[in-house]
Structure 1
């Protein structure tokens, strides 16, 4: 083992034989667009297709290339370094590297952007974790998982899994000597996995493929149920492997809960993962944590995030907040309100993001209508999975009836400037969250209760 690679040992991450806590942020919605974060309904594929249809293929490609470049630059890294963090998680959509119509062909477009950011990681000495955030067919039914139908189709088709095994082999071969990479987050948030055998077969094969190319980097494994349930694995505890779980504290449940009771309940949930660490000897990384808090609950939300980070620190669990930058959803920074993107987002938001028009509200109304029509009861477990099919229908409808008409009303000469809104110099941030992060990285004194 090369000594300059972060390693796993006795349930902790180590570097040069000393424990290292990974503390940082995810760069969400950079190479994997999430509609609620960029404020455009749809999926990465359908949003890109809408731009191509309205503005032409070449203009659309230039638009998203500019978006990827402006979203994360050296100015962002100067800011990230000032936070005192030592790691960033880099989520990506498989389509940046694999062509759907030519599944055996590896595209270089994604590597161009990934290499640029990894160079910045090297320059500013911030580790990177590469995260396959979406897969063909979708490893989960949500729109950020890569699927288009609201079904976890990745687990139903072995040929789709073989494509991602091949992609990871290529990634491992390319980056095997990159010491600034802490590891590979093999698959983000599997959920509603329909075949346990297929799940374990995929992990066995993808780990083998990566290890044939790369013996150095840590492999991060995420469980079922949005990276919370690891009982789906038939075995755990392999060489240079770590557990990655996602921990959102559930703001609707805990905001009004008495402080000591809330913290006790959160600690009880964390105990599941610390027990797994004890059983397997695998380090723990909370790959996503944070919250989506409306302005009227921002302070309570910050206290809830603090509760979680306190627990992670107490239990020596590494963490990355979701997320660094977006259009005003969960990001630490966002474009200023007077930027082109935010004005564009407001135009769409009034049409699709109102509470009475939320995806969950509409799904609930549809289920109730069906129960009245057919005189049967749709069980909660069925609702939970079926609602994503409704979400996929709404994404498709919104693309045709909201996004495309809005795009057609904006001349290309104006639209092509919109990605500049995400340049760091055009962004603003939540100082309270920034100060909170700094208190854990040692840049600022620890915040008082």
Structure 2
């Protein structure tokens, strides 16, 4: 392990180490480890619902055993070695607040969360990916709601601040921590409560940890800084820069000058605040989803998406910004490495994954081919009955009416019901079988996405 570069800090538009040398952080998020998102590990809906269903099916002893094994296997020394081999120097760890906080006993911070993070810590940005009540309307805030009620309750905001104080207190002396990403993808409909909470949490963290950088996401899923009026000290401001051309519903990327212009303009709009205030830029998430073998023209589609990713990286390199790709490991949508289709987990759940794909439950990269005839009439009916000016009142506005209908019906109701079917596949499994299922996510048992990893290596100047 190389020696620590000491506490990183913000100096103008740069991040520097204790010797004042400029540092560019390039990394990836661990993904479905300390925050298990549905498309990453294959369950439907929300993590807390999936866990409750598995607890009911497995019982406490087997439930604890399976998740202990899963968490042990998901990120090991072999993963860290591979991480470094592709030229990445920073790990973003998405965390579910439930590892640190019990909603029925919110004043007590649980030690389990620290134990999980301590397994990974090297040069790391700690990212709180979920919040009580939900900091956004998406499935990945693990609220089970279609509203971000975190912004409606001061008690929830204070609980989150207190949680961060305890995390900062624990890691205050750890120079391997590159900083704290206090909130992933906030979505405050009023565009001002987020800034109030940022000021609150920044002040509280500084009282126990004056050193570490805070990496602060913009509003509306890290894409909007229009409500930001000030720059907080020793903070980096973060965008998320996903391109619709990297998803099944978007236009295919051909590398035309017009498409490159779209990528650049989207990026420039998001970073305008940072340029104006002369502060560092961090792209905390980006990356296409990839087609699977067996899908029509999947190799051609994936090459187009690799080309798209390469163009985005060229933009970031030109501006020398910090970035973290989404994501490191999954079951085959985006990961740098992914579970082998011949592994125990993938073989067991193959029929369920096929059903979930056919139903188009996961928002991430879904294909509506088999369900369009079901949802289109519902959406048409609502559009006919509700005047357009009232439809537009629903935030986030860029989702449109369609996005909000899908969020409530598909990503919540249908997905929650399917959670029990997912859990049923684990019924009757022995300890040995559960261990084998969890081991499907060990690095040694996974496949590498070579097309993606070669692009990352090329960006880092590494030749195979």
Judge conservation of contact 1:237–1:281 (CA < 8 Å) in 2: no
> Aligned equivalents of 1:195 and 1:105: distance in 2?
30
For the structure 1 residues 406 and 269, does the alpha-carbon distance in structure 2 shift closer, same or farther, using more than 3 Å as the test? same
C-alpha distance 51-6 of structure 1, shift in aligned 2 (>3 A): same
In 1, Cα distance between equivalents of 2:142 and 2:30: 17
Q: Please give the alpha-carbon distance, in whole angstroms, between the structure 1 residues aligned to 2:223 and 2:322.
A: 16
What's 2:230 paired with? 236
Deviation at 1:159, TM superposition (A): 1.1
Q: CA deviation at 1:410?
A: 4.6
Equivalent residue, structure 1, for 2:396: none
CA distance in 2, matches of 1:4, 1:317: 20
Query: CA 1:409/1:403 → structure 2, altered by over 3 Å: closer, same or farther?
Result: farther
The equivalent residue for 2:68 is: 65
Contact in 2 for aligned 1:40/1:403 (Cα 8 Å): yes
Instruction: Work out the CA distance in 1 between the residues paired with 2:116 and 2:308.
Output: 34
In 1, are the aligned partners of 2:379 and 2:402 still within 8 Å (CA)? no
| Secondary structure class of the residue paired with 1:19 | coil
- Counterpart CA distance in 1 for 2:304 and 2:413 is 34
Match of 1:124 in 2: none
Q: Deviations over 1:43-65 (max 9, x none)?
A: 11111111110010122122112
Q: For 1:145 and 1:434, locate their aligned partners in 2 and report how far apart those are by CA, in whole Å.
A: 28
Kept after mapping to 1: 8 A contact 2:93/2:124: yes
| SS of structure 2 residue aligned to 1:354 | helix
* Aligned residue number for residue 150 of structure 1: 146
Q: Hey, what does 2:355 align to over in structure 1? A: 351
* Aligned-residue CA RMSD (Å): 2.2
Alignment-derived partner of residue 13 in structure 2: 11
Do 1:255 and 1:304's aligned partners in 2 also have CA atoms closer than 8 Å? no
Q: Residue 306 of structure 2: which of 302, 325, 330 is its match?
A: 302
Aligned partner of 1:208 in structure 2 is 203
TM-score by length of 1: 0.91
Among 115, 123, 133, the alignment partner of 2:118 is 115
**How far apart are 1:94 and its partner, in Å?**
0.1
Deviations 1:390-414 (A, max 9, x none): 22112211113x2233232655542
Distance in 1, Cα, partners of 2:126 & 2:373: 36
Matching of residues 28-177 of structure 1 within 5 Å: 28-118=31-121, 121=122, 127-177=123-173
Change in CA separation of 1:356 and 1:134 when aligned onto 2, cut-off 3 Å: closer
What displacement does 1:203 show?
Answer: 1.2
d(CA) in 1 for partners of 2:141, 2:373: 22
Contact 2:192 2:227 in 1 (8 A): no
Structure 2 residue ranges without an equivalent (≥5): 293-297, 393-399
1:392 aligns to what? 412
Given candidates 330, 334, 339, the residue that maps to 1:335 is 339
Among residues 411, 415, 429, which one is paired with 2:434 in the alignment? 415
Distance in 2 (CA, whole Å) between partners of 1:364 and 1:219 is 46
Correspondence list, 1:218-367, <5 A: 218-233=213-228, 235-251=229-245, 252-295=249-292, 296=298, 297-354=301-358, 361=368, 365-366=374-375
Task: Please say which of residues 367-376 and 262-271 is displaced more in the overlay.
Answer: 367-376
CA deviation after TM superposition for structure 1 residue 367, in Å: 6.3
Write the distance in 2 (CA, Å) between the matches of 1:260 and 1:374.
36
Contact 1:55 1:412 in 2 (8 A): no
Supply the distance in 1 between the matched residues of 2:262 and 2:324 (Cα, whole angstroms): 21
Note the C-alpha offset of 1:308: 0.4
The 1:412/1:42 distance shift into structure 2, 3 A limit, reads: farther
Offset of 1:277 from its aligned partner? 2.1
